[in-house]
Structure 1
């Protein structure tokens, strides 16, 4: 049994580009959404990471903002 199974571990962030690609968002759009503030990101040892909650809530937030994206 792994530590993740033992402690019900669920990651809260992941690498921006591969994670966005898994959700159907290309590299250019991923960085555009991040720069607009539509995705909450941070740098970890020079690599751009995205908070998974931000990515998972993106469709709802875009619909709420009439497709404008970005933070309030």
Structure 2
């Protein structure tokens, strides 16, 4: 089972731009994991934080 999304996968899942994903990471809305690879550092977003974001967004829309 997948536990991490790339920036592109995350943007596709929640329907936002990668710049918006970066803002969400910076303000703590989404959780990031940084892994060191041969290419350098790569950022990933936890699936749990994406699921939490989607759940919160759907609750907000349901309350409108």
Q: Is the shorter-chain TM-score for this pair beyond 0.5, marking a shared fold?
A: yes
- 2:50 matches 1:55: yes
Q: Please name the residue that 1:35 is paired with.
A: 26
Of Structure 1 and Structure 2, the greater strand share is in 2
1:3 maps to what in 2?
A: none
By percentage of residues, which structure has more helix? 2
The count of corresponding residues between Structure 1 and Structure 2 is: 55
Q: 1:1-72 to 2 correspondence within 5 Å?
A: 10-15=1-6, 17-23=7-13, 24-45=15-36, 46-61=41-56
Q: Pick 1 or 2: higher relative contact order, CA cutoff 8 A, min separation 6.
A: 2
Question: Which of 1 and 2 has greater Rg?
Answer: 1
Consecutive unaligned residues in structure 1, runs of 5 or more: 1-9, 67-72
- SS in structure 2 of the partner of residue 38 of structure 1: coil
Distance 1:21 1:41, change over 3 A: same
Structure 2: stretches of 5+ with no match in the other structure: none
